[in-house]
Amino acid sequence: MRLPANLRDALATHGFESHEDYGYALRCLFEQPGRQLRCLAIEGDCGRRKTAFANALSAALAYPHSLYQDLAVPAGAAQRSGGDDSADADADIHAPSALDRLLSDACAYSEAEPTLCVLDQLQTLDFAEHIRLHRFVQSGEWHSANGEFIANPRRLTLFLISEEPLYHSLQKHSFRLWVRRAGYADHRYRAGEFALPDAAQQLIDALDPLFAALNVLPTHSEYARILDDIHARVGNADELAQSIYGWTEGISPQALHSAGCRHHLTTATAVIEDYLRADVVEMASPGAV
């Protein structure tokens, strides 16, 4: 599998922003020799950030066939909309599980073209299903009530997402990747990254202590929205707090409104007022264009 020249930008295009470069981890996954199916165990902070990463990576890698299943959703739940409950119950007895349907389709597609299969919320499966998955990864053979299906290990890749540790033997056959929210120390923004003049760096510098206290760094698009609010809408510390909370993933409202963060918000608001006032004076000066 060929990775995009700029994986970080490709992921952002498909809805997942990060300051990290996952290229090396993916090369470890795809370039490792072997005859077994390639499995990526996507771990990370709680929430659906892992799912967002898996779906963005799937789109960025441009697999001809990309299959996704949230295993927490009962099979057929999305299709059922009233009718005879007894008939539905009888159909459920004979219908293949969501896992059976997904992996049988994945095996079929992999006969001819590269295929990605994303299994989300694995912790909801019975332990026996984890054992079946391990056997499938080892042998490339999926056995179900509907028959036996053979995967092409050179063309089928599995992404595994679970809120609990994977079954040990399944984990041993997977490459682990940790997807985390951006911490404050990961990056330092410069005004030029947002097409702002050098003088605007004081706004970013004023916000730094606040994000350090929160241990959160907004993504580039989140920060751009905050800066737009600062230039056009923010008038006091409460409004600044609302903009930061409204645009930034992973911020605790309790932490944002703590005494320490309140101090940083007040200090940053004063810097913002001085910057905007100076900007207005400069625009109003006789020599301004």
Q: How many CA atoms lie within 13 A of 115 on its CB side?
A: 20
CB 162 within 8 A of CB 124: no
* Range list of β-strands (E), 84-213: 115-120, 141-144, 147-150, 156-161, 175-179
Q: Go through the domains of the chain in sequence order and give each one's CATH number.
A: 7-179 (3.40.50.300), 184-284 (no CATH)
pLDDT confidence of residue 281: 46
Q: In the chain, which ranges are E strands?
A: 38-44, 65-70, 115-120, 141-144, 147-150, 156-161, 175-179
Residue 118 tokens, joined: 């994303």
Please list the rounded mean pLDDT of every run of 10 residues in the chain (289 residues).
88 88 92 86 84 94 95 62 49 72 95 95 93 94 90 95 92 92 74 95 95 90 95 95 93 93 96 86 47
Give strand pairing partners of 176: 41
| Residue 14 pLDDT | 93
pLDDT at site 79: 40
Residues 158/40, Cβ–Cβ less than 8 Å: yes
What residue type is 155 in one-letter code? R
pLDDT at residue 288, rounded to an integer: 47
